Amino acid sequence: MQEKPKKELDYVIVGQDGNEDLNLPVMFEAVMVKYMGKIIDLCRVSGLSDRAFEQMQRTIKDECYNHVKHAKSILQKHGYDEEK
């Protein structure tokens, strides 16, 4: 089975002036993705059936990505955007 390419979650941006800036929307997504991965890993060691585990994994991913989308919209509303 071929692995999905991992999304690059580099949240430190080096500007043209050489200074490093923090990209808050990307940083928040990176933290949530790491958290989601840890939760899914912990669920793997539970006694769930394969079918139940797959459903739990989909639910966790949906929930985490919904929170990321919501947080990014809040950050964008207040002037923080991924594009610098």
- 18: domain range? 12-77
- pLDDT tens column, 4-51: 555 556 777 777 788 888 888 888 888 999 999 999 999 989 888 999
> What is the pLDDT at residue 22?
80
Residue 4 domain-assigned? Answer: no
Closest CA to 40 of 21, 28, 55, 23: 55
Q: Could you give the number of structural domains in the chain? A: 1
Q: Give domain status of residue 84, yes or no.
A: no
Summarize pLDDT for 49-68 with one digit per residue, the tens: 999 999 999 999 999 999 99
Q: Is residue 60 part of a domain?
A: yes
Residues 79, 84: Cα–Cα separation, whole Å: 11
